[in-house]
Structure 1
């Protein structure tokens, strides 16, 4: 019991099998325990009598005697404090989650910038530009790539620091409430990730409908319009690009890719949907494809 007290645990004494003793005997036992604890400098929250046959405390003891305390009231207070503690932690975790999400989005953005620069570099090489050391364009690409790589590294370091901070916050809250809550950041994230995943997946599928629409629009253009050789090549390249997006499997990184696609194309998408003549032509084209 001394060890429990030194660990900061709240001590409440339960006299079990109280139905085997008389009320006066229980009072005497309770007094002796109280004196022993006080003499040893051990603080305790109360003493109650508990029936092993009825599986409940003798409430009449705590209601009529100053020696006994209510176990039910003690547990209710603990629950109230625990609920308040978890409410505070949940608020902290919510803010932490928003910061983490923002950092991850920035990290993924810098990754995409690096991939885009690499793609530009490959395109230039295919067109015969391969003087890496002297060409100003390649030097600029290298400089930008290094900058984005450094930014990505900084964001990852920020995320590590952020996770350290939330652990310190939880320790501080636990100290205030004098108990270690089992409601950790990992548990909060696990509970909320399930809800977020459902919403994110629905968003992912909704944006894919937009991608499918534009893929069909480019295919429609190939069949419907008289295009030059250069325009035909551009339309086919766009069809391939949209097909690649349609092949993406659900992940947070791919969701972010589709979000950026939506941000760029949403205005054109809405205008296109409101163009009645275009929609009539698209419906006619789709019917012709099903024949």
Structure 2
């Protein structure tokens, strides 16, 4: 993942309200992911009964989301580079909505599985694009909080999905469990359309004036914005070591290994087994 530029140290950090609004709105991609993760637990028994689904079919229905997420995560880097962070979030939101609606309208198990794959695809893209966007629009003092907001939104989404499942479970309305989630998805996509472009992505595309305009609106002072533009420019000009750095730097290898281990242990903890 690309690191956002860091402003000069020593400056007093006041986070403009626009940064907070932009950050929370972008982090709402995590809410959609949480809704996606949580909804299946309440719907599975009812849809299995309606479709007379076997145990194997139910396993596919649940795990199809993870297969889609793997594909989405692999392709997310290309999507964010070529279409931008903002349009990656829009794309992910659109796929979320399509997946929710396809599941709600499913007339067979294969169609339901296809809908779950779409939902997972959106999760894979959002899990990469949202934290990346948040890191690039926030300043040094608020970056950690902004990225953590994405994870918080996932937890809130799971909780809201459980509440929705409980409400509709009294009448066995599993289609509504999926369909109602499309409503916040539509609101999310509309909101993301008004987000500014990532200043770092604009710089990567040679659109320096636009990047400066975005940063000026997101930083406390124009001087801070200009300093960050310069830092981004210097970072983009620096040679990217990539695999050679991984081979040569033991500290870097340990950091990467720890990050991978954390992700593996998270899966063993069962957070996605809702």
TM > 0.5: no
Q: Which structure has the higher relative contact order (CA within 8 Å, separation 6+)?
A: 2
TM-score, normalising length from structure 1? 0.30
Higher strand share: 1
TM-score, normalising length from structure 2? 0.31
Look at both structures and tell me which one has the larger radius of gyration over its CA atoms.
1
